[in-house]
Chain A
């Protein structure tokens, strides 16, 4: 690899640097600036004060955490055994990944819209549950907390699964064989060898899944009760920005969102560093 950026190397990077500064770094810093100023431009803390002292606004943090944390935990914990099972590949792998990729690529709007009918009181799911007599009356899946949670699992599970699968299949299979040759049972091999090696992948997967769930927006509005129990923080920020046109408070809420995401990610990475030692990859993962 060539050392240094001589000979026009910097020119190659320049468009990307200009892009990231103008469209990502600058807006973020501008948002940070707005969040600490009044609409007239005077420095103030009142934007944050207003958010944290108004119960209706401040509780969105708790509301969002209450949706995002369980959803992320469900996705990651479900994804681990499924990815483990498929780590050496299997028949029908392509078909399975195809079905998993559909809800991921179609996005939350379509899935939420579809769930409204499918999981509604007369939808197929309720008809099926009643036909096999699991429940008596129709279950309410939509316009409440559960609808949002289910939609986050439908979206987040394939994401977590494919990510952890990519990671697990990169772990050297010889390690597993060695462990079994030394007399470890399947369970022991998983707990003592594979899982510790999976920790970094699980940690990153958890982080990405969490930030995705924490900024949930369309499904919380369409499937939940945006006027109360599922008024998530992203929706609060949106309302301040584009319904009330108060960009200062909206920016402050965005910064609070970013800060909470940062705190959770740092926490997960600290956990990972305490558990994980050593390299699991052979060659390119």
Chain B
């Protein structure tokens, strides 16, 4: 029942969207412009453009190291969680057993409970075992919301692969491992890819958990950005914005790659 032409509903819809998108773009462009501006105290545009704040940021932070940690954490988290989540998603979508519903809810909980709620007990445990303030701890903490997310994204992809294919392979003499390697994994590759890319984007922008367990040498860009923004008086706001731009470009690059493979609605929790 698509309506054609002008209606009041449509007017409000587009006005609302324009206000929302306009403000989001305003926020992003302010950050971009401010990071390259000088003497922008009033007026619509800055008086001079300069690249000096990027030099300032590079002198204060080890940017390559920050980027390295950010991607190291993201890739390690994705690799480990695929290994944990894929077999679990397989068992959950292929088998029916007692307590499956309960198990599924336990797996889902870390996705629904916000990081700040479980993050502090988790950080305490990681400190207790001397894993915090290291990259290992950051990776472990970031696994918590990602593994359930992966299980949830992968399950429908595995359900789509017919059981018959597996039975056929087994009848032809393939062992379980071979069935996995030659049948299941190639057929579910799109699902693994989707889950992996979405997880990279989520891990790069995960602030709370990383902040709670990271030390100076194991922080990601978003944590460094928060620390800079928090200590606002310590450095010029333009320099904070320059770091924000570096973070923005990193996250946006991954998001754009991700959107080549997945639809935006997959980024949000889906209601069953």
Interface string of B2-43 (1 = CB under 8 A from A): 100000011011001100110111111111001000000110
Question: Cβ of B120 < 8 Å from any Cβ of A?
Answer: yes
Q: How far is the CA of A108 from the CA of B114 in the complex (A)?
A: 13
Given A97-B265, A127-B44, do A201 and B91 touch, yes or no (CB 8 Å)?
Answer: no
A37 CB to nearest B CB, Å: 12
- Majority-rule SS of A interface residues: helix
Contact of A221 among B28, B29, B112, B230 (CB under 8 A): B230
For B224, the closest partner residue in chain A by CB is: A109
- Are B106 and A25 in touch, CB under 8 angstroms? yes
Asked if B248 is at the interface (CB within 8 A of a chain A CB), the reply is: yes
A105, CB-defined interface residue at 8 Å: yes
Contacts of B135 in A (CB 8 A): none
* B199 is an interface residue with CB less than 8 A from chain A: no
Query: Are A238 and B120 in touch, CB under 8 angstroms?
Result: yes
Contact between A125 and B24 (Cβ–Cβ < 8 Å)? no
Q: When the two chains form their complex, are residues A211 and B117 in contact, meaning their CB atoms are under 8 A apart?
A: yes
Between B1, B24, B151, the greatest number of chain A beta carbons within 10 A of the residue's beta carbon is seen for B24
Interface flag for B157 (CB, 8 Å): no
- Shortest beta-carbon distance from A12 to chain B in Å: 4
Q: Given A110-B31, A118-B26, A159–B268 Cβ distance below 8 Å?
A: yes
Minimum CB–CB distance for B224 against chain A, Å: 10
Query: Residue B183 at the A interface, CB < 8 A?
Result: no
- The majority secondary structure among interface residues of chain B is helix
> Which stretch from A3-11, A42-50, A51-59 is at the chain B interface?
A3-11
Q: A60 at interface (Cβ–Cβ under 8 A)? A: no
Considering only CB atoms, which chain A residue lies closest to B145 in the complex? A24
Of residues 130 through 148 on chain B, the ones whose CB sits less than 8 Å from some CB of chain A are 140-141, 143-144, 147-148
* B156 CB to nearest chain A CB (Å): 9
Min CB distance A111 to B, Å, is 6
* A31/B124 in contact, CB under 8 A: yes
Given A208-B112, A241-B124, A285-B272, CB of A106 within 8 Å of CB of B251: yes
Q: Cβ of A110 and Cβ of B247 under 8 Å apart? A: yes
User: Which residue of chain B has the shortest Cβ distance to A102 in the bound complex?
Assistant: B24
Task: Flag whether A82 is at the interface (Cβ < 8 A).
Answer: yes
User: In the bound complex, what is the Cα–Cα distance between A31 and B44 (angstroms)?
Assistant: 51
Q: A201 to chain B: which residues have CB within 8 Å?
A: 271
Contact B124 A250 (CB under 8 A): yes
Asked if A118 and B27 sit within 8 Å, CB to CB, the answer is: yes
Taking the closest CB of chain A, its distance from the CB of B211, in whole angstroms, is 8
Q: Are A28 and B118 in contact (CB under 8 A)?
A: yes
Give B164 Cβ to nearest chain A Cβ, in Å: 13
A267 at the B interface (CB under 8 A): no
Is the Cβ of B121 less than 8 Å from the Cβ of A31? yes
When distances are taken between beta carbons in the complex, the residues of chain B under 8 Å from A214 are 114
Residues in B with CB closer than 8 Å to A165 are 265
Residues from chain B with a CB closer than 8 A to the CB of A251 are 120-121, 124
User: Is B118's CB under 8 angstroms from A166's CB?
Assistant: no
Task: Please give the distance in Å from B227's CB to the nearest CB on chain A.
Answer: 10
Binary CB contact string for chain A from 1 to 44 against chain B (1 if under 8 A, 0 otherwise): 11111001101110111011001111110111010000000000
The answer on a CB contact under 8 Å between A98 and B259 is yes
Q: Closest B-chain residue to A157, C-beta based?
A: B20
Q: List 16 A-B contacts (CB under 8 A).
A: A13-B88, A15-B87, A19-B84, A27-B124, A82-B17, A99-B17, A104-B268, A105-B205, A109-B225, A113-B241, A154-B23, A173-B1, A201-B271, A211-B117, A222-B230, A254-B121
Residues of B at the A interface (CB closer than 8 Å) are: 1-2, 9-10, 12-13, 16-17, 20-21, 23-31, 34, 41-42, 44, 83-85, 87-88, 90-92, 94-97, 103, 106-107, 109-110, 112-118, 120-125, 127, 140-141, 143-144, 147-148, 151, 176, 201-202, 205-208, 212, 222, 225-226, 229-230, 237, 240-241, 244, 247-248, 251-252, 255, 259, 263-265, 267-272
Given contacts A204-B271, A222-B230, A261-B113, 12 further A-B contacts (CB under 8 A): A20-B110, A31-B124, A90-B2, A98-B264, A109-B229, A113-B225, A118-B31, A123-B30, A154-B27, A215-B117, A242-B123, A258-B118
